[in-house]
Amino acid sequence: MTGALALSVGVVLAPERAWANVLLAGYALTGLGLAGTFFVALTYASDATWATAFRRVPESMTRVLPAAAVVLGLLFVLHPSLYPWTLEDAAEVGGFKHLWLTTPFFLVRALLYFGVWISFAAALVRNSRRQDEDGDAAWTRRNIRLSAIFLVLFALTCFLASVDWVMSLTPHWYSTMFGVYNFAGLFQSGLATMILIVIWLRRAGPLRGVVHDDHLHDLGKLLFAFSTFWMYIWFSQYMLIWYANIPEETVYFIPRMQGAWQPLMIVNLVLNWAVPLLALMARPMKRHAGMLTKVALAVLVGRWLDLYLMILPTVSPAAPPIGPSEIGAALLTAGLFLRVFTGAFQQAAPVPVKDPFLSESLHYHS
């Protein structure tokens, strides 16, 4: 609530910046919801049984997708001019882009992405919850099939959504790494969120005795791996642009590496890569709830900074802004996520009680 209020103040004070922050909040929420869906689909499709014990956590995370759609929908309908191509002469953007970047087509695509994501997430969660009642293995088989289809669609839609919603803020710039880069950050921050929630629920009760250090160990491994993946992709994008040194490509990095933006760029790499790499390299650290909590928090702050660095320089190239809009957007995201998550988590049993793989997951040794 406070977040929404602060954002509304921001809309009055500095509308352009406030709307950029609305995009940041909506996109971050989308990322968390998608990461939950992707994780559930990935574990189903790969027959990974270790995660069954805490699958209700990513399942409940998927429920933020409709909320994210509302936040982004507000932006797309009320203030589409955040995207420069809505104002520019169509011919100036040129080529295929002026067919792709038109307001009606843009809105239809956004509806399509969210339609695909929400319907698949809802179906996966519904089947999993129905299994709680009858314990029929057919629900698992059905979810495996759904997951396989979702993973393919997810790869396409996640890539296109990042191009549509973030890359087109600078319509003349393009990077073919951008979709993968966004996916890396999305899954990394989703893992960090899952780690925080799992540790919290283990301490608070619902998952006590269900989630062991072995489960944390594997989540820690994934966070470690995807932090390095994120860095790998970040650098791949950076190096190609640095090497080619073509003005129409370097236009993305130049404002972000000048003035007060530059230290933020370095902090971004430290939080998202250096911290997890060094802190989680040793095995005991991946099994240590306290250490994992700290690293996951660092990664979440890093994710926010990463998105901030993608979005905000387009409206404030001179210096990184901080004010009611920025704080409001962060509060709105955290508040909305926690409210939706706790609501969704309480709707069903905290553990998929009749999943055929539950017992295997409970006795898991990493």
Partner 1 sequence: MSRRIFVGVFEHEADVIEAAGASREHGFEFVDAYTPYAVHGLDRAMGLERSWLPWACLGLGAAGLGFATWLQFWTMTVAWPINVGGRPWNSLPAFVPVMFELTVLCAGVGVVITFVIARRLGPGRTPEIPNIRVTDDRFVLVLDAGASDPRVVRRVFEHCHAVTIEERDVEDRR
CA–CA distances in Å: residue 343 to residues 60, 191, 339: 8, 20, 6
Contacts of residues 253-258 at CB distance under 8 Å and 24 or more positions apart, as own/partner, are: 255/313, 255/317, 256/309, 256/313
Residue 17 or residue 215: which is nearer to partner 1 going by CB?
215
Interhelix angle for 261-269 vs 289-311, to 10°? 140
Confirm or reject binding of residue 281 to partner 1 (CB under 8 A): yes
- Closest contact distance (angstroms) between CB of 104 and partner 1 is 41
Round to whole Å and give the CA distance between 79 and 11: 11
Round to whole Å and give the CA distance between 112 and 118: 10
| Single residue of 149, 283, 322, 347 touching partner 1 by CB under 8 A | 283
| Single residue of 42, 235, 250, 354 touching partner 1 by CB under 8 A | 235
Round to whole Å and give the CA distance between 282 and 104: 51
Six-digit token string for 7: 């954002």
Residue 102 or residue 228: which is nearer to partner 1 going by CB?
228
Q: How many residues touch partner 1 (CB under 8 A)?
A: 12
137 three-state secondary structure: helix
Instruction: Pick the piece of the chain touching partner 1 (CB under 8 A) from 29-37, 115-123, 241-249, 271-279.
Output: 241-249
Confirm or reject binding of residue 253 to partner 1 (CB under 8 A): no
Residue 254 or residue 349: which is nearer to partner 1 going by CB?
254
Name residue, tokens 């926010």. 304
Residues 6+ apart with CB under 8 A from 108: none
Confirm or reject binding of residue 232 to partner 1 (CB under 8 A): yes
Residue 200 or residue 235: which is nearer to partner 1 going by CB?
235
Query: How many whole angstroms from its chain centre is CA 171?
Result: 22
- Closest contact distance (angstroms) between CB of 363 and partner 1 is 8
Residue 228 or residue 293: which is nearer to partner 1 going by CB?
228
Gap between the terminal Cα atoms of the chain: 42
Residue 283 or residue 339: which is nearer to partner 1 going by CB?
283
Confirm or reject binding of residue 96 to partner 1 (CB under 8 A): no
Six-digit token string for 190: 């989703």
Confirm or reject binding of residue 238 to partner 1 (CB under 8 A): yes
| Single residue of 243, 246, 260, 290 touching partner 1 by CB under 8 A | 243
Instruction: Pick the piece of the chain touching partner 1 (CB under 8 A) from 18-26, 182-190, 234-242, 300-308.
Output: 234-242
Residues in contact with partner 1 by CB under 8 A are 232, 235, 238-239, 242-243, 245, 281, 283, 364-366
